[in-house]
Amino acid sequence: MPGPIRDVAQRLCDAGHGVWWIGEGLLALLRGEPPVAWVLATNAAPDDVPRVLEHAIPSRRGGAAFVVPSAAGPVDVQPLRWGSQVEGDLAHAGFRLLAMAWSWPAAQLVDPYGGIEDFVADRLAAVGDAAAALAERPLLALVAARLIAEQPLSLDPALAIALREARTEPLARVPAAALRREISALLLAPGAGRGVALLRESGTERALGLRSDAGTARLVDAMPCDLALRLLAWTAGHGGNRLLGRLRFAPECRQRVGQLLQYHPVEQRLSGARRPALRRALRRLPDGAFAALAELRAAQLANAGSEEYAEDARRALAALHEAVRALELEADRAAHEPVLVWRGRDVILALGIDPGPQVGEALRYLREQVAKDDKLNTPEALRGLLDTWRLSRASGADASP
């Protein structure tokens, strides 16, 4: 525990209050991972916390929790709600993996419900009756999916049944911020597909307003660890726009999902476009968006099997890849070509011709010559090169000096 966090715990202890480290930070430490959050439970009364910790800021109504700034990051200090000892609050932690505490300063693990047993077995089980836990805290359905996405945990049979049979209406009363936080963490977890599959199988997904298909979990796993792209993979065609709006995802995230959705499926939106139109479309897309859309579509088509429409779409996607690659090579060449002091109108005046393909040919020739010798990039030298080029075209000879 970093020194500044220990100082917060010790100040509560010095004032005569019990202190316990609880929550997912403790679970992360058991897994050998650095804790990203610090939650201290205390039997200090809500009115006593700001007296002992003068910088404590109420973060929930009625003094249910406080945030204490520290040099090691914010500390969440929570007065006990279910008695004077931590075991009462641990009974309401939802899952046995989270129903453990580390007492301060005794440095002892408090594990009244078998959390260590579940930790060793890589199992997710409810504290007590699973149905009652879900009824008390509807958000636990999403927490379960997120925990399974973060670690390959097996689902306790009683919890699996309770998730399938739980009433989903109470999820509508869960604050949008809490739902958004759990969904974002789930989709960015290493096993996001496992979490998505559990949401679908348990019916929790329907309560959120989505109806994905059986291949969606594999599709989410096939995506890079990018929230907008995984949101699109999970929600596209399944009611995602309503979900993103209801949960108030950040405007930039919603905008990026909207931009991606506008060009999805990419082989239908862009295939067959002429080079100028394709170039304009690629410029409108955010950086890396075409690669992301192509990857998403390739994953979708891989899940589609060998149906005729999928084969046609794969061929169209491959052709689109080739067209985009050709534009990229063309842009790369243009970036390395010399910038002439002359433009197309100068060539038109020098040659006395009308605008047309001949002007482009002459400019390409001039750039080739200047690339060999940049001293030729003057009006006088370019005029001489044009005379050589015109004579060579008239005689059919090579115009190179």
Q: What is the pLDDT along the chain (401 residues), one digit of tens a residue?
A: 899 999 999 999 999 999 999 999 999 999 999 888 899 999 999 999 999 999 999 998 888 999 999 999 999 999 999 988 999 999 999 999 999 999 988 999 999 999 999 999 999 999 999 999 999 999 999 999 999 999 999 999 999 999 999 887 888 889 999 999 999 999 999 999 999 999 999 999 888 888 888 888 988 888 888 898 899 888 876 666 778 888 888 888 888 888 788 888 888 888 777 888 888 888 877 777 788 788 888 877 877 766 777 888 888 888 888 888 888 777 766 666 678 888 888 888 888 888 888 888 888 888 888 888 888 889 899 899 998 888 888 776 555 54
Q: Would you state the pLDDT for residue 124?
A: 97
The bridge status of strand 57-58 relative to strand 19-22 is unpaired
Q: Would you state the pLDDT for residue 115?
A: 96
Segments in 126-273 forming alpha helices (H): 130-136, 140-150, 157-165, 176-187, 192-202, 204-207, 216-222, 227-235, 240-246, 251-262, 266-270
Distance, CA of 257 to CA of 293 (rounded, Å): 11
Give yes or no for a contact between 170 and 124, defined as CB atoms under 8 angstroms apart.
Answer: no
* Cα-Cα end-to-end distance for the chain: 76
Q: Would you state the pLDDT for residue 229?
A: 86
**Architecture field, domain 1-121:** 2-Layer Sandwich (3.30)
pTM: 0.74
Class level of CATH domain 126-250: mainly alpha
CA atoms within 13 A on the CB side of 361: 11
Q: What is the DSSP letter of 374?
A: G
